[in-house]
Amino acid sequence: MSGASAAVMADDAPVLDVRGLAVRLPPGAERAHAVREVSFAVRKGELVCLLGESGSGKSVIAQSVMGLLPRGLPAVAGEVRLEGENLLAARPERLRRLRGTRMSMVFQEPATALNPVMRCGAQIDELLACHTALPAAERRRRILEVLAQVRLPDPARMLASYPHQLSGGQRQRIMIAMALILEPALLVADEPTTALDVTTQAEILALIRLLQRDHGTAVLYITHDFGVAAEIADRVAVLRQGELIEQGSAEEVLSRPRHAYTRMLLAAVPSLVPPERAPLATREEVLSAHGLGKTYAGGTFLARGKEVVAARDIELSVHRGETVGIVGESGSGKSTVARCVARLIEASAGRLALDGASVPLAGSVAREFRRRVQIVFQDPYRSLNPRRTVGAAIVEGPMNFGVPRAKARLRAQALMGLVRLSPGALERYPHEFSGGQRQRLCIARALALEPHLLIADEAVSALDVSVQAQILELLADIQRRLRLALLFITHDLRVAAQICDRVVVMQHGRIVEQGPVGAIFRAPRHPYTRALLAAAPGRRFDFALPRPPPA
Amino acid sequence: MSAAAGIDSETAPAGAAPGIGRRLARNGAVRFGGAVLLVLLVLALAAPWLGTVDPTLFDPASRDLLPGRVGEVMTLDGNVLQHTFWMGSDGYGRDLYSRVLYGARVSLLVGATVALLALAFGTLAGLLAGYFRWLDGVLMRVMDGLMAVPNILLAVALVAMWKASLWTVIAAITVPEIPRVTRLVRSLVLGIREEPYVEAAVSVGTSRFAILTRHILPNCIAPLVVQGTYVCASAMLVEAILSFLGVGLPTDIPTWGNMMAEGRLEFTQYPQNVFFPGVFLALTVFAVNILGDGLRDTLDPRFGKRGER
């Protein structure tokens, strides 16, 4: 069938119809099929969200639709019909003609999806020149038109810009412009806002929704984020380990889930409503920072670059048994503050004190400081040395401080129990563990030194929502038991709402607002805090989400 | 958040990646290159028992024999041996077959020793330059200076300064190879020192020395092994070139380069003098390079990141 016959099809015929799709994994993988028996449909003007955690096969479905499956992953059963035409049976030549014209895709990473050495205008023009016979002037007019449609300011300047001159949000708008310029029937969006800040994400989501309504495009939207799905989906399909376990209208699936797995996932999404927190028993100040600042002097002695202020005038204190969250978008300086406090980098201004004793900002740091301040990093795949056993990583700290190996081993075994892993795991290497398990190991390594202050730098941001809930619960539990001071850096307001006693909001290297979590979330005073809260996806749905009653 | 998360409800990635040995053994390039080198090594070490004669013995009666001919060789004791010249003989009546096998010893020894020495010094310099920023400028400018002089020229100059012997030649070939290893290690260290696991080690109070030796160095090993094979191949070629130019090992030591240099004069009439050592040199360097490619594919994390992430 061709596009012409598709046009005469009944209006309610699905644009994309996936039936019984199965994609095989190479032998030796953890399961036989990447996806199996997956059936769903996307109608004209409808936005369907494929929801699933990592490894659920949602991206494989997107690749099957676009005909972009890697060589090792063959589609072995079922059909994928675009306007009635089975794409799995189509020749590569035919698929190439369809891509861009009848179906198009927006990827997660707007930084790498554009060619860095080509001007944005030329990249869009290439697409038009390839698929249409329009003359150059007409193409330019069309490009300017579509750039205006995706709400890019000053389209003429955008055309002449290289990708690196644009922000992440602008690049993603360019990608969407490219995807929509040929008026495709189907848009496949694979986590298009995951790499973006929350306020940018809100804008892009609104844009996708708007364009989809204007053009009647069918959208297959792939995401792991329930908030995003709640924000934009008409229909939702939930995937688990390659199987579609539940689908229905967004309203139905997100507020009255039938399947236990969906219920579990929804329950794991942290609420934006902070729970009541008991006041601190004591006011022992563990960490205090006054006027802390970090300035990077750019350039070398030959070429003086401009100074970059990463953080300035930071006033911060964390008490024993208290969790203080630093929230902000990328580039707000929240990680800089964490690293200055941990003395992994040297702050350039201000005062820092731990347990009441002043800590020098530069030069060598007292060994006792290293013991008392520990940090857990974001990327669980890179924070353990791949060439050393887990046990070696955990006993390293105590042995640095003179604890004999046998004693350090015993403590490591006890810590494994605390982070709910088996002591036998000490003999294994990091690659044998999943992301969440590795993060538990990192926590165990930090706790081995019995620190007073634990810094968690986006420690749950790389994890799936169900794993994230477990790690958050673990951190909260450990903090209660050991009465740690916890400095929690996150971009995720939902996480901050659930775990923090106090919240510090940062923007452009400065603190714009700080206070008790309830006050900040209920009555934010600073406009930026209000904007952040307003941009959090899925706010409307938040109260409807089924959650266990607070303990 | 659910109230009672059970012990570790996550599943670990099923089936840990197969051991490094198994993966190496499965790689065709590693198997081929390794097998060829093993055969060459056996030939070189077992040369005395493989129908050879003393490679320096000459007999004017057996000059310029064609391959496969039978002739006579007089030993130092005055005995006359019947000998089959499998590869023919050169202009002095020396057995090419024996010289090629004994020459393999020199090539393999030079290649392996230079690779080990260059890796050792280069790794040390690279670790220091990468980790101690104040040393970086000084060390790397020295390395840039070394790299500005062509390898061969530098080696020729060094041999000319010293007296030519096996060890001076090895040293002369090693020195120009060091900067390349240093650069590699430095760039690796610059990357690895930013890894969170190194920062984690810093924050648990690990000393700089322990961070270098226990955290950074082990993660450099795989690319270093690969680089080592390329240094080895290059060293064998440079040794042959030095010998060919007459500034390498003394002419009384049979090396492939020396043989080709001597055979060059009568190449048009007796090409076997150049052909056999040339073929062996090419085959050896080829095998080492193939092995290096195979090692890179299996060991280097940038290429072989299967099953991780």
Residues of A in Cβ contact (< 8 Å) with B210: 400
Q: How confident is the model at residue A8 (pLDDT cuts 50, 70, 90)?
A: very low
Q: Examine the pLDDT at A544 and tell me if it is beyond 80.
A: no
Q: Examine the pLDDT at A188 and tell me if it is beyond 90.
A: yes
**CA distances, B121 to each of B116, B130, B186, B201 (Å):** 9, 14, 12, 26
Q: Looking at residue A305, what is its pLDDT?
A: 64
Pairing of strands A75-82, A47-51: unpaired
Higher pLDDT, A171 or B15: A171
CA angle A526–A529–A535, rounded 5-degree value: 140
SS3 A205: helix
Residues of A in Cβ contact (< 8 Å) with B306: none
Distance from C-alpha of B100 to C-alpha of B79, rounded to nearest angstrom: 23
Q: Looking at residue B303, what is its pLDDT?
A: 46
Q: Could you tell me which of B178, B308, B309, B170 has the C-alpha nearest to residue B248? A: B170
Q: Looking at residue B122, what is its pLDDT?
A: 95
Are the Cβ atoms of B197 and A385 closer than 8 angstroms? yes
Q: Does A94 touch chain B (CB under 8 A)?
A: no
Distance from C-alpha of A541 to C-alpha of A205, rounded to nearest angstrom: 16
Distance from C-alpha of A280 to C-alpha of A173, rounded to nearest angstrom: 46
Distance from C-alpha of A497 to C-alpha of A273, rounded to nearest angstrom: 6
Q: Could you tell me which of B219, B241, B222, B237 has the C-alpha nearest to residue B288? A: B237
Give the minimum alpha-carbon distance from A269 to chain B in angstroms, rounded to a whole number.
Answer: 7
Helix extents (H) in A342-404: 367-372, 390-400
State mean pLDDT over A431-455.
91
- pLDDT, one tens digit per residue, over A327-377 is 998 888 898 999 999 998 888 889 999 998 888 887 777 788 989 999 999
Q: Examine the pLDDT at A222 and tell me if it is beyond 90.
A: yes
pTM for the whole thing? 0.81
The residues, ordered by sequence, that sit 6+ positions from A264 with a Cβ below 8 Å of its Cβ are A466, B2
- pLDDT, one tens digit per residue, over A144-160 is 988 988 888 888 888 88
Distance from C-alpha of A117 to C-alpha of A467, rounded to nearest angstrom: 39
Give the minimum alpha-carbon distance from A507 to chain B in angstroms, rounded to a whole number.
Answer: 25
Between A383, A393, A472, which is nearest B1 by CB?
A472
Are the Cβ atoms of A385 and B202 closer than 8 angstroms? no
What percent of chain A is predicted at pLDDT more than 90?
A: 39
Between A379, A434, A548, which is nearest B11 by CB?
A434
Q: Could you tell me which of A121, A217, A126 has the C-alpha nearest to residue A174? A: A121
Tokens 């007089």 -> residue = B74
Give the minimum alpha-carbon distance from A425 to chain B in angstroms, rounded to a whole number.
Answer: 11
Q: Looking at residue A360, what is its pLDDT?
A: 85
The residues, ordered by sequence, that sit 6+ positions from A120 with a Cβ below 8 Å of its Cβ are A114, A158, A159, A161, A162, A163, A166, A174
Q: How confident is the model at residue A108 (pLDDT cuts 50, 70, 90)?
A: confident
Residues of B in Cβ contact (< 8 Å) with A268: 1-2
- pLDDT, one tens digit per residue, over A287-340 is 999 999 998 876 555 566 677 888 999 999 999 999 999 999 888 889 899 999
SS3 B97: helix
Q: Does A383 touch chain B (CB under 8 A)?
A: yes
Q: Are B33 and B287 in contact (CB under 8 A)?
A: yes
Are the Cβ atoms of A377 and B196 closer than 8 angstroms? yes
Q: Looking at residue A549, what is its pLDDT?
A: 44
Tokens 């499965």 -> residue = B26
Give the minimum alpha-carbon distance from A383 to chain B in angstroms, rounded to a whole number.
Answer: 4
- Residue B268 backbone zone (phi > 0: left; psi -120 to 50: alpha; other: beta): alpha
How many other C-beta atoms can be found within 10 angstroms of the C-beta atom of residue A153? 10
Distance from C-alpha of B174 to C-alpha of B146, rounded to nearest angstrom: 12
Question: Taking a contact as any Cβ pair under 8 Å apart, which residues of chain A between 237 and 296 contact chain B?
Answer: 264, 267-268, 270
Q: Looking at residue A546, what is its pLDDT?
A: 53
How many other C-beta atoms can be found within 10 angstroms of the C-beta atom of residue A416? 21
Distance from C-alpha of A433 to C-alpha of B308, rounded to nearest angstrom: 10
What was the ipTM of the complex prediction? 0.78
Probe site for chain B from A385, A399, A438, A487 (most B CB atoms < 10 A) = A385
Between B2, B14, B197, which is nearest A384 by CB?
B197
* Edge-to-edge strands, sheet with A47-51: A103-106, A186-190, A218-223, A47-51, A235-240, A243-249
Q: Could you tell me which of A229, A245, A238 has the C-alpha nearest to residue A544? A: A229
pLDDT values of chain B reduced to their tens digit, one per residue, 309 residues? 333 333 343 444 433 445 677 778 888 889 999 999 999 999 999 988 887 888 888 888 888 888 888 888 877 787 888 888 888 888 888 888 999 999 999 999 999 999 999 999 999 999 999 988 888 989 999 999 998 988 888 888 888 888 888 899 999 999 999 999 999 999 999 999 989 999 999 888 888 899 999 999 998 988 899 899 999 999 999 999 998 888 888 888 889 999 898 888 888 888 888 999 999 999 999 999 999 988 888 876 444 444 333
- pLDDT, one tens digit per residue, over A24-76 is 988 877 788 899 999 999 999 899 999 998 888 888 999 999 988 888 888 99
Higher pLDDT, A453 or A278: A453
Probe site for chain A from B8, B26, B204 (most A CB atoms < 10 A) = B204
Q: Which residue of A has its CA nearest to B5?
A: A470
Are the Cβ atoms of A30 and B13 closer than 8 angstroms? yes
Probe site for chain A from B203, B214, B302 (most A CB atoms < 10 A) = B203
Q: Could you tell me which of B181, B210, B191 has the C-alpha nearest to residue B130? A: B191
- pLDDT, one tens digit per residue, over A89-106 is 889 899 988 988 899 999
How many other C-beta atoms can be found within 10 angstroms of the C-beta atom of residue B128? 18
Question: Taking a contact as any Cβ pair under 8 Å apart, which residues of chain A between 404 and 423 contact chain B?
Answer: 420-422
**CA distances, A166 to each of A56, A191, A205 (Å):** 33, 20, 19
b/e burial code for range A198-217 (CB count within 10 A of at least 16 → b): bebbbbbbebbbebbeebeb
SS3 A16: strand
A165: which 2 tokens?
A: 């001159």
- pLDDT, one tens digit per residue, over A228-281 is 998 899 999 999 989 999 999 988 888 888 999 998 888 888 888 888 888 877
Q: Write out the H or E segment, with its range, that includes residue B102.
A: helix B96-131
Give the minimum alpha-carbon distance from B214 to chain A in angstroms, rounded to a whole number.
Answer: 9
b/e burial code for range A238-269 (CB count within 10 A of at least 16 → b): bbbbbbbbbbbebeebbeebeeebbebbbbbb
Q: Are A200 and A145 in contact (CB under 8 A)?
A: no
Summary mean pLDDT of chain A: 87
Q: How confident is the model at residue A167 (pLDDT cuts 50, 70, 90)?
A: confident
Are the Cβ atoms of A382 and B203 closer than 8 angstroms? no
Helix extents (H) in A348-431: 367-372, 390-400, 405-418
Q: Looking at residue B289, what is its pLDDT?
A: 93
Give the minimum alpha-carbon distance from A444 to chain B in angstroms, rounded to a whole number.
Answer: 12
Residues of A in Cβ contact (< 8 Å) with B197: 382-385, 393
Residues of B in Cβ contact (< 8 Å) with A374: 203-204
Distance from C-alpha of B136 to C-alpha of B222, rounded to nearest angstrom: 23
Q: Which residues of B touch A (CB under 8 A)?
A: 1-3, 5, 7-17, 195-207, 210, 214-215, 218-219, 301, 307-309
Are the Cβ atoms of A375 and B199 closer than 8 angstroms? yes
**CA distances, A75 to each of A14, A65, A72 (Å):** 21, 10, 10
Distance from C-alpha of A404 to C-alpha of A398, rounded to nearest angstrom: 8
Distance from C-alpha of B155 to C-alpha of B239, rounded to nearest angstrom: 9
Burial (Cβ within 10 Å: 0-12, 13-18, ≥19) of residue B302: exposed
